Amino acid sequence: MALQKLTQRVQKDWLKVNQLIDRYLYADMPLANQIAQYIKTNMGKRIRPLLVLLSANAFSCQSPLRVSYAASIELLHNASLLHDDVIDESELRRGKEAVHKRWNNKLSILMGDLLIARALQVLVNSNRSEQYKHSRMMSQFIAQAAGQVIEGEVMQLANIGNAHFTEASYLKMIEKKTAKLFAASAMMGPFLSQGTEENMKCMQAFGVSIGIAFQLIDDVLDYTGDEREIGKRVGQDLKEGKWTLPLIVAFKKGDKRQKECIQQALLSKNSKDVLAVQNVVEAVGAIEYTARLSFSYRDQALAMLDRVSQRIDKTGLEEFACFIVERSK
């Protein structure tokens, strides 16, 4: 499933969202605009706003707020990436030099803060009297999602190098750090089309499951991906001391020698030791296990669509779910 086919389903709204994002990226300052232009050329697939639009399309939502919310979600997501790259000391973001490397940590953090402000501004400026209630609640959803992302990031930092980090704890962490923003995106269809609370819960659950599936595929690609496609060095998570699911599974299943190999790589962070861990992760079946679990979460997401009580056009959302687990970057 190609991303282009998905965007064509919502082409007019997709163009409007991208135009709105571009408009709110910039500020009245040359340096900020220079950084904004750099960010704009490296914003990635924009799959979260795409999910907003596909959800709205499925529920035949006509509210213009769908475009505002989609843009707001993407601005918030990019703000979190600017902060993440500083925290993780990442050199690359989508194959290009990270903003904090190109400029410095202070500017990366400030630009992230600016994008958070812009995300809220988009919603405030879309507020008309007849849409006030929706606009206010959408700001609340954005704030709640942002809080969950931060909690997930703190949880990840608290477990850097923690050999006792369990699969259950990891899944809880990525639910906060990654999946909650997908949930906030997926629920917009029923929310803006006056859907029932039950249908909103179904779509939130769809978003959580597909968000976890997304992160698990990212974890797999960190060990098996093509660096030119994934836009970062293979094994980067390991070098940053992060316990992703393939590593957690490998440490649990591995023998004494394999466990020592993992611990050595976490300490040294050199390429030779990282390559050795890649071999361990493959040998114990941790990659296959993680990929299977990702597909299981995809199936859970699809099952939630079947529980929606009103008649909707599920095709775009089903294709989106398949794209998430079949992608190579």
Which token pair is 151? 């909690």
Average pLDDT over residues 266-277: 90
pLDDT attached to residue 328: 82
Query: Residues of 198-233 as b/e, b for ≥16 C-beta within 10 angstroms?
Result: ebbbbbbbbbbbbbbbbbbbbbbbbbbbeeeebbbb
Nearest Cα neighbor of 10 from 68, 49, 41 is 49
pLDDT attached to residue 285: 98
Average pLDDT over residues 269-278: 91
Question: Taking the chain, what is the end-to-end CA distance rounded to the nearest angstrom?
Answer: 13
Nearest Cα neighbor of 141 from 55, 213, 42, 62 is 55
In the predicted model, is pLDDT for residue 221 greater than 60? Answer: yes
pLDDT tens-digit profile of 309-323? 999 999 999 999 999
Question: How many residues are recorded in the chain?
Answer: 329
Choice among 44-48, 211-215, 235-239, 257-261 with the minimum mean pLDDT: 235-239
pLDDT tens-digit profile of 73-132? 999 999 999 999 999 999 989 889 999 999 999 999 999 999 999 999 998 887 664 466
Q: Which residues contact 70 (CB under 8 A, 6 or more apart)?
A: 13, 17, 48, 49, 50, 52, 53, 185, 188
pLDDT attached to residue 165: 95
Residue with tokens 């299977």, as numbered in its chain? 292
Alpha carbons 268 and 306: distance in angstroms, whole number: 48
pLDDT attached to residue 129: 47
pLDDT attached to residue 126: 79
CATH code assigned to 3-326: 1.10.600.10
Q: Which amino acid is at 185?
A: S
Q: Which amino acid is at 285?
A: G
pLDDT band at 1; cut points 50, 70, 90 = low
In the predicted model, is pLDDT for residue 162 greater than 50? Answer: yes
In the predicted model, is pLDDT for residue 259 greater than 80? Answer: yes
pLDDT attached to residue 124: 86
pTM of the model: 0.95
Of all residues in the chain, what percent carry a pLDDT higher than 90? 80
pLDDT attached to residue 226: 79
**Domain limits, the chain:** 3-326
Choice among 230-234, 259-263, 273-277 with the minimum mean pLDDT: 230-234
pLDDT attached to residue 127: 66
Which token pair is 259? 């466990």
DSSP state of 129: G
Average pLDDT over residues 136-147: 90
Average pLDDT taken over every residue of the chain = 93
CB atoms inside a 10 Å sphere around CB 39? 20
pLDDT attached to residue 128: 62
pLDDT attached to residue 322: 97
pLDDT tens-digit profile of 179-215? 999 999 999 999 999 889 999 999 999 999 999 999 9
Residue with tokens 């991906």, as numbered in its chain? 225
93 bridge partner residues: 96
CB 231 within 8 A of CB 93: yes
Alpha carbons 204 and 144: distance in angstroms, whole number: 13
pLDDT attached to residue 325: 97
pLDDT attached to residue 131: 63
pLDDT band at 229; cut points 50, 70, 90 = confident
Of all residues in the chain, what percent carry a pLDDT higher than 70? 98
